[in-house]
Homo-oligomer: A and B are copies of this chain.
Amino acid sequence: MSTIDIPAGSGFGLANLPYGVFSPPGAPPRVGVRVGDSVVDLAALLGDDVFARPSLNAFLAQGRARWAEVRERITELVSGDVPGAAVHPLSAVRLHLPFEVADYVDFYASEHHASNLGRLFRPDAAPLMPNWKHLPVGYHGRAGTVVVSGTDIVRPCGQRKAPDEDSPTFGESRRLDIEAELGFVVGTGSPLGTPVACADFAEHVFGAVLVNDWSARDIQAWEYVPLGPFLGKSFATSVSPWVVPLLALEAARVPTPDQHPRPLPYLAETEPWGLDIDLSVEWNGEEVARPPYREMYWSPAQMLAHLTVNGATCRTGDLYASGTISGPEKHQRGAFIELTWGGREPVTVKGEQRTFLQDGDEVCISATAPGADGGRIGFGEVRGRILPARPQ
């Protein structure tokens, strides 16, 4: 038995307690909670087989009362002496995708991002589409290519056509980009035909992860009319290995920015679910952007209410992401296409002028939020490196 060391300012103290899936050397994956620089094996700590599985889904499906009860019990136990066999150094374990992704939806909830992309993709039209301030625009992505942080990203190939070319060519993407986002993980599903009201958000959503929605802008620009992004996005979406429970984000809750025109009643927020989360985007180790989640126009409660208002089910393991987080300032933009204004205004990264991603580049997105103890809690990071395209 020993106490778990929690370094000051680690972001992973008792105010956080995020869940993930890990495997110690030679052992199969199971559910753990991060405390400081340690991972606590929950099946060993709590003696509950729901945690002796390679994904969080079974626990997620147990619902909000159970999530609260387990969090209380963990808080109590890890505050005291913990059996040594239940504690692993973070550096000694492998981290896995924390949940099996059911459906994946990507929203577009930052007014600054949507306006910037409108200007870049449709320079001759109004930056925001007429629907944008009436509903959280979103679309379905590919659940099967959601990967955990640390997974290498092979540069995708596909069709691209520049405006001045007559016909498309096939080859590797030359405008490979990131999108720094927050993703929400559904715990308790809803049956077909039963919308989830904004007020019921926390009954259904378990927690949040960081998302890097890798984007091949040249593939996307050619393919996306009229049915939306497809191969420009579907090659990979990376998520952070730790799911921060909503219960740890109480101190981060803030109102969304003023919404005009006033949203239709089904989108009316009954309580604030804006989130005061600070993201940081590092490109090859140099911070190039600090996107502020509190600037997001639509809240995650509004996103879920919209997603289900037509009667669509949500399911345990559904992931829906916010869309790129961009603030009003240039250094707050969460995608390189915005940061470099379509590649026309390079940024300096480790002394080099850069626009889109080069082979060998590594991107790391991290985030922190206010915690209930007056300190900051951490989301950890979502990291990925670009490998050269495979010969076709």
Interfacial residues, chain A to chain B (CB-CB below 8 A): 102-103, 105, 108, 118, 121-122, 129-131, 134-135, 137-145, 147, 154, 156-159, 161, 167-170, 192-195, 216, 219, 222-232, 234-236, 261, 264-266, 306-307, 309-315, 318, 390, 392
Contacts and interface: CB of A to CB of B under 8 A. Distances in A.
A138 B227 CA distance: 7
Nearest to A103: B144
A162 to B, nearest CB: 12
Contacts of A144: 102-103, 312-315, 318
A229 to B, nearest CB: 7
Contacts of A227: 108, 137-139, 224, 228-229
A145 B235 contact: no
The list of the 6 closest CB pairs from A to B, nearest first, reads: A228-B228, A156-B310, A140-B140, A139-B227, A227-B228, A235-B310
A223 B392 contact: no
The interface centre, meaning the residue of A122, A129, A134, A312 with most chain B CB atoms within 10 A of its CB, is A312
A231 to B, nearest CB: 4
A310 B131 contact: no
Nearest to A154: B193
Contacts of A193: 154, 390
Given A147-B192, A154-B193, A223-B137, A310 B231 contact: yes
A213 B97 CA distance: 31
Contacts of A156: 310-311
Contact of A139 (B131, B140, B235): B140
A102 B145 CA distance: 11
8 contacts: A103-B143, A118-B226, A135-B159, A139-B227, A140-B230, A156-B311, A158-B309, A224-B226
A226 B135 contact: no
A310 B143 contact: no
A90 to B, nearest CB: 25
